[in-house]
Structure 1
Amino acid sequence: MNLVDFSFLTGVFVTLFVIIDPPGTVPIFLSLTSTFTAKQRSRAALVAVGVAVLIISVFALFGQFILDYMHISLPALQFSGGLLLLIVALQLLAGKEDEMGASEGVNVALVPLGTPLLGGPGAIVAVMLFVQQTGGEAARIGSLVLAMVLLAATMYLAMRFAGVIARVLGDGGVTLVTRISGVLLAAISTQMIFDAVRAFLTEWGIVAG
Structure 2
Amino acid sequence: MPVSDFISYLIVFFVVVDPPGLVPVYIALTQGFDARRKRIIALRGTAIAFAVLVFFAYFGDVVLRSLSVGMPAFRIAGGALLFWIAFEMLFAKRAERKERDAGAALTDEDAHDLAVFPVAVPLIAGPGAITSILLLMDRAGDTVIGQASVLGAAAVVIGSVTLMLLGADVVRRMLGRTVIHTVSRVLGIVLAALAAETMISGITAIYPPAHP
TM-score range relative to shorter protein: 0.5 to 0.7
Q: Are the structure 2 counterparts of residues 63 and 32 from structure 1 closer, same or farther at C-alpha, using a change threshold of 3 Å?
A: same
TM-aligned CA deviation for residue 12 of structure 1: 5.2
**Is the 1:49–1:156 contact (alpha carbons within 8 Å) kept by the matching residues of 2?**
yes
Aligned-residue identity in percent: 10
Q: Are the structure 2 counterparts of residues 28 and 50 from structure 1 closer, same or farther at C-alpha, using a change threshold of 3 Å?
A: farther
Q: Which runs of 4+ in 1 moved over 6 A?
A: 205-208
Which residue pairs with 1:187 in the alignment? 189
Q: Are the structure 2 counterparts of residues 31 and 51 from structure 1 closer, same or farther at C-alpha, using a change threshold of 3 Å?
A: farther
CA-atom RMSD, angstroms?
Answer: 3.8
User: Unmatched 5+ residue regions in structure 1?
Assistant: 1-7, 135-139
- Determine helix, strand or coil for the equivalent of 1:177: helix
TM-aligned CA deviation for residue 27 of structure 1: 0.8
TM-score by length of 1: 0.67
Q: Are the structure 2 counterparts of residues 12 and 45 from structure 1 closer, same or farther at C-alpha, using a change threshold of 3 Å?
A: same
Match of 2:180 among 178, 195, 205: 178
**Aligned-partner residue type, residue 197 of structure 2:** D
**Is the 1:49–1:155 contact (alpha carbons within 8 Å) kept by the matching residues of 2?**
no
User: Unmatched 5+ residue regions in structure 2?
Assistant: 31-37, 109-116
Deviations 1:53-103 (A, max 9, x none): 2222223x5377367x1353522332133224544664246x554323222
Paired with 2:210 and 2:195, the residues of 1 have a C-alpha distance of 16
Which residue pairs with 2:159 in the alignment? 157
TM-aligned CA deviation for residue 200 of structure 1: 6.8
Q: How many positions carry a matched residue from both structures?
A: 189
Output aligned runs, 1:32-181, within 5 Å.
32-34=25-27, 35-36=29-30, 37-59=38-60, 61-62=61-62, 65=65, 69-70=68-69, 72-84=73-85, 86-87=87-88, 90-92=92-94, 95=96, 97-104=98-105, 105=108, 107-121=118-132, 123-131=133-141, 134=142, 140-141=143-144, 143-163=145-165, 165-171=167-173, 173-181=175-183
